[in-house]
């Protein structure tokens, strides 16, 4: 059963709750969108899913419906009460915690993986949450997330595309990412001001840059410096740390701009810095 718009509102009212903006609470009620997410994310019978921010449990129910097991992290104690009261969600392991701080090895025990993360993420912490999972939880092999459309475009962008920026490049150290769908604001209660996007993120078997060439911290430093002056040529934006000889040795043309570089090229530059 899906919580309709009216049922979602009634459930909140039953518990004396209203959506909290500070937790990015926009609840999904549209059956077509929920079915689309579950179909596109590709999880099925026996898969172990991690969900951040289950809210009232609408997406959770659909994930259970295809035979997945779900371990969910919710920050709002009021919603924890709702989730624990709903008999349809009895099989879900619910953690009352901040997904930014919770020990991911407890939520997703490494020896019992792999896991797939599927979530309609709170917009204010969506990007740091994605990066945290990629950095800290290798047992989570894929992420399928709904985020603000602008963020979705950035996460999914490839070199040379308008939306390609610092986070697009840094994500590609760990994973591939593709924007696979758009979702209108009208399928949420309350409706947010902007549309959303669905992004499929699949972890690479090995990081895109060999750690023997450069470590991730140095790569991120170079990426951040370069995109900090996005319109400038790399020879200008990186002049405090790299000289022309470094660009030559790394095989990167210093007159290029950061949006033209893939993560391997940033890795080669970071190798010179290191
Ligand atoms: N999954 C539900 C849905 O699709 O209807 C709710 C999605 S709503 C956009 C975001 C959810 O994340 C809310 O339930 C909110 O309380 C929760 N949340 C916000 N910040 C969080 C955090 N740091 N850790 C865990 N949950 C969080």
In the chain, where the domains are located: 5-203, 216-273
Q: What is the pLDDT of residue 1?
A: 59
pTM score, whole prediction = 0.96
pLDDT in tens, the chain (274 residues): 578 889 999 999 999 999 999 999 999 999 999 999 999 999 999 999 999 999 999 999 999 999 999 999 999 999 999 999 999 999 999 999 999 999 999 999 999 989 999 999 998 899 999 999 999 999 999 999 999 999 999 999 999 999 999 999 999 999 999 999 999 999 999 999 999 999 999 999 999 999 999 999 999 999 999 999 999 999 999 999 999 999 999 999 999 999 999 999 999 999 999 8
Distance 22 CA to ligand 1 centre (A): 10
| List of residues 6+ apart from 158 with CB closer than 8 A | 164, 168
Q: Which CATH superfamily is domain 216-273 in?
A: rRNA adenine dimethylase, C-terminal domain (1.10.8.100)
Q: Is the CB of 19 under 6 A from ligand 1?
A: no
Atom of ligand 1 nearest to the CA of 124: 20
Q: Tokens at residue 13, please?
A: 């009212």
Its CATH class, for the domain covering 5-203, is alpha beta
78-82 contacts at long range (C-beta below 8 A, 24 or more positions apart):
78/15, 78/17, 79/17, 79/54, 79/55, 81/15, 82/11, 82/15, 82/17, 82/56, 82/57
Residue 135: exposed, middle, or buried by beta-carbon count in 10 A (0-12, 13-18, 19+)? middle
Return d(Cα 172, Cα 176) in angstroms, integer: 6
| Rounded distance between C-alpha atoms, residue 75 and residue 95, angstroms | 8
Q: What number of other Cβ atoms are within 10 A of residue 193's Cβ?
A: 7
pLDDT of residue 228: 96
Cα 61 to averaged position of ligand 1 atoms, centre (Å): 15
pLDDT at 3: 82
CA of 158 to the centre of ligand 1 (A): 28
| HSE, side-chain direction, 13 A CA sphere, residue 256 | 15
Residue-level pLDDT at 66:
97
């Amino acid at each position: 059963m899906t919580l309709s718009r009216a049922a979602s509102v009634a459930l909140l009212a039953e518990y004396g709750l209203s959506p909290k903006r500070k937790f990015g609470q926009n609840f999904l009620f549209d059956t077509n969108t929920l079915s689309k997410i579950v179909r596109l994310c590709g999880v099925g019978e026996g898969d172990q899913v991690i969900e951040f921010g289950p809210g009232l449990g609408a997406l959770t129910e659909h994930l259970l419906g295809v035979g997945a097991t779900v371990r969910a992290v919710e920050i709002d104690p009021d919603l924890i009460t709702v989730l624990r009261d709903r008999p349809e969600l009895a099989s879900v392991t619910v953690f009352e915690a901040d997904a930014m701080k919770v020990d991911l090895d407890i939520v997703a025990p490494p020896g019992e993986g792999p896991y797939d993360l599927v979530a309609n993420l709170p917009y204010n912490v969506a990007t740091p949450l994605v990066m945290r999972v990629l950095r800290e939880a290798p047992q989570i092999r894929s992420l399928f997330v709904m985020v603000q459309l602008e963020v979705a475009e950035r996460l999914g962008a490839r070199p040379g595309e308008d939306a390609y920026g610092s986070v697009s490049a840094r994500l590609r150290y760990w994973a591939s990412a593709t924007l696979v769908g758009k979702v209108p604001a009208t399928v949420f209660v309350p409706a947010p001001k902007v549309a959303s996007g669905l992004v499929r993120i699949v972890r690479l078997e090995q990081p895109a840059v060999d750690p023997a060439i450069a470590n991730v911290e140095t790569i991120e430093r170079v990426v951040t410096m370069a995109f900090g002056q996005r319109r400038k040529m790399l020879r200008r934006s990186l002049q405090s740390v790299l000289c022309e000889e470094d660009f030559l040795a790394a095989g990167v043309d210093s007159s290029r701009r950061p949006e033209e570089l893939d993560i391997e090229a940033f890795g080669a530059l970071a190798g010179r810095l290191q």
